[in-house]
Every structure is written in C-alpha cells, then in structure tokens.
Structure 1
C-alpha cells in the first residue's frame, strides 16, 4: 500500500467515525412554550422510539444536550417535539446530524408555525 493510499484509508476511517459520533446535538427551545417530549429517530424508521427527555421538560429559553448511546449508521434523522400546554407537536425530517451540532426551535404566533434552524 502506498503512503497516499494509506493516508486516504485513514482519512476515510476517521471521517466515518466522526460521522457516527457527531450525531449528538444541542436542542435550544426559543418557542415561548415548554416542550414535554422530544423524539429522535432514524429517517427510515417506522416509529419514534423513546422520548429522549424522559420525565424532564425543556422549558422555553433552555437547551438540552441530546446524546446517542446507540451506534447509528445513518446521518439522517427525524425530530419531533410535543408541547406541554396542549400536546400539539412539530416534526422535521431528514436532519443531517453528522453535520448539525445545534437545533434551535422558534414559534411564530402570526403564522402558527414552529421553525427550526440547524447549525
């Protein structure tokens, strides 16, 4: 194996490891409402799995570190949040968590929509 081939292989392995470990992210709640449930599932999954907040609530203005204990083989994930006050929800699909470190949620009362920015 040439030095160039070895370097390319090391780079590819490091990129794959980084992609799998970088799925953790920070969720920031700037909606004006408390969030009682947060679900994160692979985009191709048929269900939402477990509420990652458990018994906790993500209050307006707070942030939560969402960590993955499972070794995911995908970078694309779906996110669902449920509000405490009326059990309404908002959903986003195909978030690339291999590149996103922070998701900030905002609610617009004029349009009655929750938006997300991905940094």
Structure 2
C-alpha cells in the first residue's frame, strides 16, 4: 500500500512541476522601413493586449529587441507592433520557444 501512495505522490509532483510558470524570450527584428513605436505581447488566450513592452523606447528600422516573458505556462503568444505611421503588424499564436520574428512590410495588417 505504501508503494501505491508513493507512486501517486510522485505523479502529482511531476504534474505540478510541469504546470509551473516558466521564462521565455523572443527576438523581434524590425525590417519594416519605419520606426516601431509600440510592441505588445500577450498570451494567446488573452482578451486584450498587455502593456507596451518598449515603454519609452522605440525600435528603429534594422534593430532587434529581445523580449523576455516571465511567469507564463505556455510559449504561445500574440504579438502586435505599431509603427510611426500608425500601421500595425499582428502575429497570432507565435510559439516563441520555436521561432523569432522578423517584421517586414509584407506583415502589415
């Protein structure tokens, strides 16, 4: 009987550890020809965009920004960039554990 309880405990601990929040990152390169003024990254199941990760910074054309995402359980995010003309570039369901983004005019919404 003890062995059975021990196995259940181990299984439960593995489940808890696998469900814990992790840290992810994504490198985003701006090749739009415009300055990116705003950059939003939200979990794919979110109803709204989280705060602008650039804050007071901007992303000039040709620059790359590494965005660190802490405290999330899933690596799937929606990403939206807004340039100096007010044009937006939105990427849905990006698995940041598998790919980075290079944003071009072809990605214009």
Q: TM-score, normalised by structure 2?
A: 0.75
2:29 alignment counterpart: 28
**Stretches of structure 1 lacking an aligned partner (at least 5 in a row):** 1-8
1:9-65 per-residue CA deviation (whole Å, 9 max, x = no partner) reads 9xx89xx59x933x2011100111110000000011011010000011100011111
Asked whether the equivalents of residues 87 and 108 of structure 2 are also in contact (C-alpha less than 8 Å), the reply is no
Query: Which ranges of 4 or more aligned residues in structure 1 deviate by more than 3 Å?
Result: none
Query: How many angstroms apart in 2 are the aligned matches of 1:104 and 1:114?
Result: 12
Q: How many residues align?
A: 95
Match of 1:83 in 2: 83
Work out the CA distance in 1 between the residues paired with 2:67 and 2:76. Answer: 15
Q: Distance in 1 between matches of 2:55 and 2:61?
A: 17
Partner of 2:96: 97
Please, which runs of 5 or more residues in structure 2 have no aligned partner? 1-10
Of the two, which has the highest radius of gyration?
Answer: 2
**Separation of aligned partners in 1, 2:68 and 2:33:** 24
